[in-house]
Chains A and B, each alone.
Chain A
Amino acid sequence: MKFESKAVMLVLLVAAFMALGTYFTMIVPLMSKELNTATKDATPYTELELKGKRIYESEGCMYCHTQQVRNLLAETKRYGMGEEETFKRFGIRALIQAPPSQPGEYVFDKPHLLGTRRAGPDLARVGGKYDNTWHLNHFRDPRSTSPGSFMPAYTWLFDKNGQPKEEAIALVAYIQKLGTNLKWREEGVEQARKLAAAEAESGNANVAAVNGAEKQ
């Protein structure tokens, strides 16, 4: 029989092919435990953070910022904690690599905001990187904190006197939440300290380069 001259048969076969691919690439992952189990330190969004997430969505932030550290060495280093930053905040000179993003970090995201394009940097590990004032200045006037950036100024999130509206405060709260479903900063620093101590004890400088905590 020629399917191409029987409209009903053609449509049925096309639907069957579609169902096959959809089952394996969509339904199977939907039912997988790995993709639906929260990480150990994952917490749901607070009301304020959730409000901030909605601002992030309606302002279309996800069109220019991804929220996924890909499983590539360059990205775990780029989006990790640089040596200067770690020293300033934790008093130890170490590059703490950001862990690649894990499915369990996203279970409270509805909708997801993984994004596909980086006109600006990835934000999956940005929570805790800057203080709230930095973020507010950045939203009010991006080029004051990041010269050369072409991010728009979100002036409508501030009142006439330049004071942040509730929306801006919520947005910052959401941004600060990003990446905190893994305690990677704390654990990374702890590990770096242990390595430094072990190093001091043994006098061997080579111990350091292990497991995401890389002394430079």
Chain B
Amino acid sequence: MAEPAVKIQHEDRSARFFMYTAIAFFLITITIGLIMAIKFIFPEFLGGIGALSFGRIRAIHTNGVLFGWLLAANMGLAYYVVPRLCGAKLFSEKLGMVTLALWIVILLAAVVTLAAGDTQAREYLELNGWLDILVTIAWVMFAVNIFGTIAQRTYNQMYVSLWYLMGTILWTAILWIVGNLPVYSGVNDANVNWWFGHNAVGLIFTPFGVAMAYYFIPKSTGNPLYSHKLSIIGFWTIALLYIWTGAHHIIFGPIPTWLQTVAILFSVSLLIPVWTVIANFFGTLRGKWAQGDYIVKFLLSGTVFYLLTCFQGPMHSLRSVNQIVSKTDWIPGHAHMAVFGAFSFFAMAGIYYALPRILKRPIYSDKLGEWHFWFSFVGFLGFSVSLWIGGFLQGLQWMDHTISFLDTVKTMYPYYVVRMIAALLMVSGQIIFAFNIYKTVRSENAQLAMA
């Protein structure tokens, strides 16, 4: 990551407006998550209205945090990182802004259609057909911008973040298009759904988040990348192994046993790419644990959560574990560790690192940044640990058919209460985040700097 000989003036317009949009949508959709958590305790909360019922807003929450927050935030960070890694200006800021406009149209239309119950009913593929096409167009525009910048690069060597990002663009495009083809039915539809659904985490959000962490960990700690060799092994093994694992969502289900076994074998083999990447991150973070500010705290805890979530994943796929935890609330606890604990933490760190450099002024309040971290960290732990304990107990109870289902639901009650309180902490943290960023953008400081 050498600096270019001639200092390039980066405009970063697309980068920062993507980040603002992402944070705004994060606030909306994480609040919807809190409403859902409340509904587990008070089923009549906001009841009687179809558009606000659990089954409708659930899709808004998942699609919103995945595509409205995390993907948009990472796209914004990519518009910042890629030009700097290539020693070239972004291919087209104008194209970036058009992409953003389209992305906002998609997000708003998604909220309206999903609230109205207009859904394809396949998890993470809920958006209706014409929105799918708009997403594809937006993604192609993003791809043109990134590949266009890479083509104009002034360094021959490509840093590891760029490999992951190029992979992400390709994987996302293929997953999205093939996953959305309206040709599947029955158990094959379920199999394709989980080919998409699991790889959406593994080949969209994982490599995108890892790409960003590979950039921001060395940058924010001032340490050089620990090992080039490990980054090569990590990248090529994830490219080879991840795509095979989707069927582990249907273990003991109505799909052929060989397909389940293949999914299990490859799921366990994912320990290879994960542990090489983790070793590389920890190596790069060495010596900076204690003196870390909130940016390093986000990166460090994100790395730990990535390690843990990717240890859980392969273990869940084992039949002995799967029969207990699958279909229980353990799984949302696990999923939130990946999407919130690991990759959202990386993205937050990236925004805190990049935005001051784009705006050429410090973050409004480092203290609020610390509060944002602690609220997110403690909130997340409360959320997931409560679901892990409760979900595991419920899974064990399901093994005894003499315990009625309703009694197993009652077991969850205290854990749902803890989860609701933890969700409140998570939302509070993000309000602090949004406020801090808003003040940074709007601060008096800005006028001074520009004057």
Interface residues of A (CB under 8 A from B): 4-5, 7, 10-11, 13-15, 17-18, 20-22, 24-26, 29-30, 32, 34-36, 57-64, 66, 68, 70-72, 74-75, 77-78, 100-103, 105-114, 116-121, 142-143, 146-156
- Distance between Cα atoms of A60 and B55 in the complex (Å): 4
Q: Could you tell me which residues of chain B, from 184 to 225, have a CB within 8 Å of some CB in chain A?
A: 184-193, 195, 203
For the residues of A in contact with B, the DSSP-based class is: loop
Q: How far is the CA of A4 from the CA of B167 in the complex (A)?
A: 11
Q: Which residues of B come within 8 Å of A, CB atoms?
A: 39-41, 43-44, 47-50, 53-56, 58-59, 117-123, 147, 150-151, 156-158, 160, 163, 166-167, 170-171, 174, 178, 184-193, 195, 203, 232, 235, 239-244, 246-247, 249-256, 259, 262-263, 266, 323, 326-329, 331-332, 398-401, 405-407, 409-410
- Given that A18-B239, A26-B195, A114-B250 are contacting pairs, would A150 and B39 also be in contact in the complex, using a CB cutoff of 8 Å? yes
- Determine the chain B residues whose CB is within 8 A of the CB of A120 once the complex forms: 405, 409
Which of chain A's residues has its CB closest to B203's CB?
A18
Enumerate chain A residues within 8 angstroms of B195, measured Cβ to Cβ: 22, 25-26
Q: Say whether A34 contacts B406, CB under 8 Å.
A: no
B418 to chain A, nearest CB (A): 15
Query: Can you name the residue of chain A whose Cβ is closest to the Cβ of B243?
Result: A21
Interface residue SS majority, chain B:
helix
Q: Which residues of B contact A15 (CB under 8 A)?
A: 170, 174
A146 to B, closest residue via Cβ: B406
Cβ-defined contact, B255 with A62, below 8 A: no
Q: List 24 A-B contacts (CB under 8 A).
A: A11-B166, A21-B240, A22-B178, A25-B191, A25-B246, A26-B191, A26-B246, A30-B192, A57-B119, A58-B56, A60-B59, A60-B119, A61-B55, A62-B121, A66-B327, A68-B253, A106-B186, A109-B185, A110-B184, A111-B185, A112-B186, A150-B39, A150-B40, A156-B49
With A7-B150, A36-B188, A149-B406 as known contacts, state yes or no: A68 contacts B400, CB within 8 Å: no
- Tell me which residues across on chain B come within 8 A of A118, comparing CB atoms: 327-328, 398
Complex Cα–Cα for A78 and B39 (A)? 26
CA gap between A70 and B44 in the complex, in Å: 32
- B262 in complex: contacting residue of A24, A101, A105, A117, CB < 8 Å: A24
Known: A7-B147, A66-B327, A156-B48. A149 touches B239 (CB 8 A): no
A-B pairs under 8 A by CB, number:
236
Within the complex, the shortest CB–CB distance from B388 to chain A, in Å, comes to 15
Given contacts A11-B170, A59-B53, A78-B398, 14 further A-B contacts (CB under 8 A): A5-B158, A7-B150, A7-B166, A14-B167, A25-B262, A30-B191, A35-B187, A60-B56, A75-B398, A106-B190, A111-B185, A120-B405, A148-B406, A152-B53
Q: How far is B239's CA from A97's CA once the two chains are assembled, in angstroms?
A: 43
User: Does A70 contact B54, Cβ atoms closer than 8 Å?
Assistant: no
Distance in angstroms from B132 CB to nearest chain A CB is: 14
Docked-complex contact B406 and A147, CB < 8 angstroms: yes
Interchain CB contact under 8 A, A14 and B256:
no
The answer to whether B174 touches A68 (Cβ under 8 A) is no
Contact A7 B186, beta carbon cutoff 8 Å: no
Asked whether A112 and B58 contact (CB < 8 A) given A118-B327, A152-B47, the answer is: no
Instruction: Check B189–A72 contact: CB distance below 8 A.
Output: no
Complex contacts, A111 vs chain B, CB 8 Å: 120-122, 184-185, 189, 193
Question: What 10 pairs between A and B have smallest CB-CB spacing?
Answer: A60-B55, A58-B117, A21-B243, A57-B121, A70-B252, A106-B186, A77-B401, A112-B189, A110-B185, A78-B401
